[in-house]
Amino acid sequence: MSGDLVMALLVLLPLAGAITAFSFPRWGPRIGCGVALLTLALAVRAALDVLRQSPLTGSLGGWAVPLGIRLRVDGLSAILLLLLAIVGLFISIYSLQALGPARGTRGRAARYYWPLWLFLLAALNGMFLSADLFNLYVTLELSGLSAVALVALAGTKTALDSALRYLFVSLSGSLLYLMGVALLYGACGTLDFELLAGQVTGPPGWTAMALMTAGLMMKGALFPLHFWLPPAHSSAPAPVSAALSALVVKGSLYILLRLWFESAGGGLTQGTLQLLGACGAAAILWGSLQALVQERLKLLVAYSTVAQLGYLYLFFPLAAGGGVRVWTGGLIFLSAHAFAKAAMFLSAGNIIKAAGHDRINDLGGITRVLPVSVFTIGLAGISLVGLPPSAGFVGKWLLLGAGLQQGQWWWVATIIVGSMLSAAYMVRLLSHAFIRDGTATAWKAVSPGFEWSALAMAVAAFLLGFTAKLFESLLQGVVWIGGAQ
Amino acid sequence: MLSSFFTGCIIFFLREESHRLRTWLNMLGALLKLGLVMVLLRGVYHGESWQWSIPLGPGMTFALGADAISVMFVTLSTVLWLFTTIYAIGYLEGSPHRSRFFGFFSLCVSSTTGLALADNLLTFLVFYELLTVSTFPLVVHRGTEESMRAGKVYLAYTLGGGTLLLLAVAWLQSIAGPVSFTERGVLAHIAVEHRLELQVIFVLFIAALGVKSALIPLHGWLPRAMVAPAPVSSLLHAVAVVKAGAFGVVRLVYDVYGIETASNLGMLDPLAWLAGATIVYGSLRALFQDELKKRLAYSTVSQVSYIILGTAILGPLAAAGGIVHLVHQGIMKITLFFGAGNYAETLGVHRVSEMNGVGRRMPWTTAAFTVGALGMIGVPPMAGYISKYYLQQGAVQAGLGWVSLVLAASSLLNAAYFLPIIYRAWFLPSPDEWPEEHHFGRFETGWMLLVPPVFTAAMVVLAGILAEAPFSPLAFARIIAGEEFPP
């Protein structure tokens, strides 16, 4: 199988799956899991290719660059493709049971879930494969729309409200981004990342960058534009929350990384990077403090996402002078968060299923009913806090090292304070809800399949740190982050 | 070398509610580990050294290794673990959540082992944090409001300390590259260039490690953590947490900075003052505690600083004294806590004022307790005497008159808070009725509760009498001190 075919299939397969699942709802679950499995195989194949002969490129329809649409996989996209495929597979397995067959009263959610979920996968795969800004706009829009629809699937009033708000944010974010793209096209005559490199200069270039960044910050829920995230992520069904927190917000981040470091490479100023870092720092502090006072489990986890995304924006000022090591740290952190957060949302889903609510204060004694889920939350929490030897620790450690080496001690201080705050909210959650014995006894049983797929992801988040070498060698081939060809 | 530690870790997580199986697994793990450690001990005594490492990421290596001091610490923790396991099985007979307890219990000992065998700062950090995480469920084991509060205080202190440690390690590595533990330190060559930074980092390290080793003003969690069950207290005090802090300080001064570099940086004198202040303060507070376990807790605060004091004084004798106290304090304090646990479990006696005449009701326990207490005071020929003697000599050698004064004052205070207990126990008439008495058949208490303290008390005496023997803790401490101070 040639590289071109692999890349094309990564997009086409989930797309075809979505259409089939929509036409034959009864087959939805089977198609979903099958496609997720095949996507994983394709992603592994692409990553292996990148390791051997980086990077992988191909043009749709055989048209050369300025005219045709180019697809490309380099180290960065390979990592994200793999992450998406693995997390996607686990979420699919979980959904298999969570949504049940597409019949009966709960049938509507199950019927539309699978097409939308596969659509989302296709859009995100497309995003990580695209090599030009307009293609990214298309995939961004597609992923946004399917995410909104997935949130609305819960069908409750709060879910619809937050889905509507999410829709508005998503559309205005995309619109800002599109304006930037148009400006850039007018100024430079191309939208290809590599061709753009070094050309983004002057007032039009910077205005475009500002517009696109603002749009992406909106969609990426960076403080102070995070307001839509907690309600949307917490009111969606469990697998959807997991997918949104683990994967969808990372899409905007990915585009920002490409935009800032690959295209605008030469012309970056420390000032703007520091500004982005400052937003990240504010997100860490604000998100953690909010998480500390939440009364509902899913809201707590959602605010923790706001905080953890902050670290990924702290990465910007650190990455500029950091080289492969910092990028390894940043991407390990990103992946660790994806796994840990998905595990947490899925476990939260189990707890809601068993208890019928997610009020933290009334969850005492749930350890006896759902020991595996509680253990999962604990394990994922260790990675989120960044206690060694979890992957969260490895990521934080590399970022800390970079901060110290570059003398940017203010970010070091932020990371330290952020870790303590996240430890505080995790301890509050675990001790409050799980160690204490509760009075309520009317728990419903939850089938073990739910618990184990969440646990598998928490274990992955814990052990991922040991694969740092793989990350490093994948990123080694990416020239614009300082790797050797 | 590793197998013990991983089996310890894994087996205990898997076992079920079944009582007998768990007991056997526990004992098997403890004995297996003891055997392996004996092999290790022999090897290191004959001058071999082991190393094992895997790369973790760019600039990060996970490395384990065995040198004299780590083997000493491992042996201590393994032997005491064996006794504590026996004791805990007897102590927790029939109480709920036992599988959770033993799971975290062995995890905790595994982290202590890892801590001892860590060969570089990063690995040390990993196990240091792991230790925090695994002891928390033990502290809150009872699940009452009070223990939850104590657990939160404990976690706030130790996680804060852990974060500081993370910062210190990361900072040091950004200056000096990956730091592995080497005799006489690795930082001498950059000491002049980065003087101020290294000083700040040293302070950070001491603040981080001082939390676990309960240096003032960071000792607040220790007396509060006394709400935990007796085996946990003994584990916290004698083997794991407090010792981890003290061991970290020893490592930091000798094997990271190197004692001469640390002294050149002007960091040892403040450290010695801090340790001296902690010794006196801990003893003074202990004097006014009526609750037996709290008195022992403050006594720990005081005694652990002997180790740090010995480390902070420049000179081979003080170093040997400090290092040997690492072991001696461990066996003495564990004896005392076993004793306190027995009183509470058998008679319901929790306070010093209730201890009149316990010697007649429980002669064996009280004898063991007395040996431990006399050792703490430093009466010859107990183990404590040896450490104090060496510390005293070291202070004289280094010409630090105030240290001798501190030691003398502390011995007096030790006597002042331990002798009344012994007096009450043996010479005052016992009350007509104990607060809550249980009978255990033939012996004064359950045999599983009785054997460990008697054995550790015997060790206290033996370590003192046989101090000159080639296999005594003192001999090992001398080897280590000899490595740090080449003639």
Give residue-wise pLDDT tens across range B174-209. 887 777 777 777 777 777 777 888 888 888 888 888
The beta-carbon neighbor of B59 closest among A388, A401, A435 is A401
A→B interface, C-beta within 8 Å: 324-325, 328, 332, 382, 387-389, 393-394, 397-398, 400-401, 404-405, 412, 416, 419-420, 423, 427, 431, 435-437, 465-466, 468-469, 472
The verdict on A450 and A314 lying in the same domain is yes
- Give the best-scoring range by mean pLDDT among A64-68, A260-264, A413-417: A413-417
The beta-carbon neighbor of B57 closest among A387, A427, A465 is A465
Which range among B162-171, B216-225, B468-477 shows the weakest confidence by mean pLDDT? B468-477
The verdict on A112 and A142 lying in the same domain is no
**C-alpha–C-alpha distance, residues A407 and A419, integer Å:** 20
Partners of B176 on chain A (C-beta within 8 Å) are: none
Number of domains making up chain A: 3
Inter-chain contact A420–B163, Cβ cutoff 8 Å? yes
Mutate to test the interface with A, among B171, B172, B175 (most CBs of A within 10 A): B171
Partners of B60 on chain A (C-beta within 8 Å) are: 394, 397, 468
Burial class (CB in 10 A: 0-12, 13-18, 19+), B296: buried
| pLDDT for B378 | 82
Inter-chain contact B152–A466, Cβ cutoff 8 Å? no
**C-alpha–C-alpha distance, residues A410 and A281, integer Å:** 10
The verdict on A437 and A414 lying in the same domain is yes
The verdict on A169 and A302 lying in the same domain is no
Arithmetic mean of pLDDT, B27-45: 67
The alpha carbon of residue B53 is apart from the nearest alpha carbon of chain A, in Å, by 13
**C-alpha–C-alpha distance, residues A340 and B352, integer Å:** 49
The alpha carbon of residue A10 is apart from the nearest alpha carbon of chain B, in Å, by 30
Is residue A335 very low, low, confident or very high in pLDDT (cuts 50, 70, 90)? very high
| B364 CA to centre of own chain | 24
Inter-chain contact B137–A435, Cβ cutoff 8 Å? yes
| pLDDT for B14 | 45
Inter-chain contact B55–A469, Cβ cutoff 8 Å? yes
Arithmetic mean of pLDDT, A308-318: 88
Contacts of B408 (CB under 8 A, 6+ apart): none
Q: Is the pLDDT of residue B40 over 70?
A: no
Partners of B57 on chain A (C-beta within 8 Å) are: 328, 332, 394, 397-398, 465, 468-469, 472
Residue that is last in its domain, among A221, A237, A268? A268
Is A301 inside a domain boundary?
A: yes
Instruction: Give percent of chain B above pLDDT 90.
Output: 0
Name the token pair of A121: 């996968």
Is A273 inside a domain boundary?
A: no
Give residue-wise pLDDT tens across range B348-361. 777 877 777 777 77
Mutate to test the interface with B, among A375, A427, A428 (most CBs of B within 10 A): A427
Partners of B134 on chain A (C-beta within 8 Å) are: none
Partners of B171 on chain A (C-beta within 8 Å) are: 404
Give residue-wise pLDDT tens across range A281-293. 999 999 999 988 8
Partners of B151 on chain A (C-beta within 8 Å) are: 431
Give residue-wise pLDDT tens across range B296-328. 888 888 888 888 888 888 778 888 888 888 888
A57, containing H or E segment: strand A56-59
The verdict on A375 and A407 lying in the same domain is yes
Partners of A429 on chain B (C-beta within 8 Å) are: none
Partner residues linked to B120 by β-bridges: B180
The verdict on A360 and A456 lying in the same domain is yes
B→A interface, C-beta within 8 Å: 55-60, 62, 125-126, 129-130, 133, 137, 140, 143, 148, 151-152, 155, 159-160, 162-163, 166-167, 170-171, 173-174
Q: Is the pLDDT of residue A15 over 80?
A: yes
**Does the N-terminal peptide bond of residue B316 adopt cis geometry, omega within 30 degrees of 0?**
no
**Does the N-terminal peptide bond of residue A55 adopt cis geometry, omega within 30 degrees of 0?**
yes
**C-alpha–C-alpha distance, residues A233 and A239, integer Å:** 10
**C-alpha–C-alpha distance, residues A222 and A284, integer Å:** 10
Burial class (CB in 10 A: 0-12, 13-18, 19+), A293: exposed
Q: Is the pLDDT of residue B477 over 60?
A: yes
Arithmetic mean of pLDDT, B368-373: 86
Is residue B15 very low, low, confident or very high in pLDDT (cuts 50, 70, 90)? very low
Mutate to test the interface with A, among B132, B163, B172, B196 (most CBs of A within 10 A): B163
Is A324 inside a domain boundary?
A: yes
**C-alpha–C-alpha distance, residues B326 and B240, integer Å:** 11
Between chain A and chain B, the number of residue pairs with CB atoms below 8 A apart is: 79
**C-alpha–C-alpha distance, residues A423 and A387, integer Å:** 9
**C-alpha–C-alpha distance, residues B68 and B65, integer Å:** 10
Neighbours of B183 (CB within 10 A): 15
Arithmetic mean of pLDDT, B98-121: 77
pLDDT top residue among B109 and B437: B109
Q: Give me the amino acid identity at A205.
A: G
User: How is B347-380 classified by DSSP, letter by letter?
Assistant: I---BGGG-TTHHHHSHHHHHHHHHHHHHHHT-T
Inter-chain contact B133–A328, Cβ cutoff 8 Å? no
The verdict on A253 and A356 lying in the same domain is no
Q: What is the CB-side half-sphere exposure of residue A404 using CA atoms within 13 A?
A: 22
**C-alpha–C-alpha distance, residues B237 and B212, integer Å:** 10
Residue environment code for A270-281, b if the CB has 16+ CB neighbours within 10 A, otherwise e = eebbbebbbbbb
The verdict on A206 and A325 lying in the same domain is no
Predicted TM-score (pTM) of this structure: 0.84
The beta-carbon neighbor of B171 closest among A328, A404, A437 is A404
Name the token pair of B405: 């004064």
Partners of A437 on chain B (C-beta within 8 Å) are: 143
A7, containing H or E segment: helix A3-23
Inter-chain contact A420–B137, Cβ cutoff 8 Å? no
* CA distance readout (Å), B339 to B27, B262, B298, B462: 22, 40, 16, 19
* CA distance readout (Å), A231 to A157, A159, B399: 12, 8, 68
Name the token pair of A53: 């002969």
CA end-to-end distance (rounded Å), chain A = 24
**Residues B130/B111, Cβ–Cβ less than 8 Å:** yes
Residue that is last in its domain, among A201, A233, A268? A268
| pLDDT for B97 | 66
Which range among A52-61, B38-47, B104-113, B346-355 shows the weakest confidence by mean pLDDT? B38-47
Partners of B162 on chain A (C-beta within 8 Å) are: 387
Residue that is last in its domain, among A219, A247, A268? A268
**Residues A313/A260, Cβ–Cβ less than 8 Å:** no
Q: Is the pLDDT of residue B441 over 80?
A: no
Instruction: Give percent of chain B above pLDDT 70.
Output: 81
Closest CA to A112 of A81, A80, A75, A151: A151
* CA distance readout (Å), A76 to A27, A85, A215, A476: 34, 14, 22, 10
Q: What is the CB-side half-sphere exposure of residue B408 using CA atoms within 13 A?
A: 8
Predicted-assembly ipTM surpassing the 0.95 threshold: no
Instruction: Give percent of chain A above pLDDT 90.
Output: 19
The verdict on A422 and A287 lying in the same domain is yes
Is residue A340 very low, low, confident or very high in pLDDT (cuts 50, 70, 90)? very high
The verdict on A202 and A263 lying in the same domain is yes
Partners of A328 on chain B (C-beta within 8 Å) are: 57-58
Arithmetic mean of pLDDT, A321-336: 86
3-state helix, strand, coil in chain A (%, to 5): 80, 5, 20
**Residues A379/A461, Cβ–Cβ less than 8 Å:** yes
Q: What is the CB-side half-sphere exposure of residue A472 using CA atoms within 13 A?
A: 18
Q: Give me the amino acid identity at A305.
A: T
Q: What is the mean pLDDT of chain A?
A: 83
**C-alpha–C-alpha distance, residues B388 and A149, integer Å:** 74
The verdict on A57 and A144 lying in the same domain is no
Is A4 inside a domain boundary?
A: yes
| pLDDT for A442 | 64
Q: Which residue of A has its CA nearest to B159?
A: A420
Partners of A325 on chain B (C-beta within 8 Å) are: 58-59
| pLDDT for B419 | 87
The verdict on A142 and A213 lying in the same domain is yes
Inter-chain contact B57–A404, Cβ cutoff 8 Å? no
- Give the best-scoring range by mean pLDDT among A332-346, B118-132, B391-405: A332-346
Which range among A24-33, A116-125, A267-276 shows the weakest confidence by mean pLDDT? A267-276
Is A1 inside a domain boundary?
A: yes
Instruction: Give percent of chain A above pLDDT 70.
Output: 91
Inter-chain contact A398–B58, Cβ cutoff 8 Å? yes
Partners of B172 on chain A (C-beta within 8 Å) are: none
Phi and psi at B52, nearest 5°, equal: -155, 130
The alpha carbon of residue A124 is apart from the nearest alpha carbon of chain B, in Å, by 28
Inter-chain contact A400–B166, Cβ cutoff 8 Å? yes
Residue environment code for A78-110, b if the CB has 16+ CB neighbours within 10 A, otherwise e = bbbbbbbbbbbbbbbbbbbebbeebeeeeeebb
DSSP strand pairing (B60-66 vs B50-57): antiparallel
The beta-carbon neighbor of A436 closest among B125, B148, B173 is B148
3-state helix, strand, coil in chain B (%, to 5): 75, 5, 20
Domain that holds residue A241: 132-268
Is A220 inside a domain boundary?
A: yes
**Residues A392/A462, Cβ–Cβ less than 8 Å:** no
Is A376 inside a domain boundary?
A: yes
Is residue B50 very low, low, confident or very high in pLDDT (cuts 50, 70, 90)? low
The beta-carbon neighbor of B60 closest among A397, A404, A436 is A397
pLDDT top residue among B14 and B55: B55
Partners of A332 on chain B (C-beta within 8 Å) are: 57
Is A349 inside a domain boundary?
A: yes
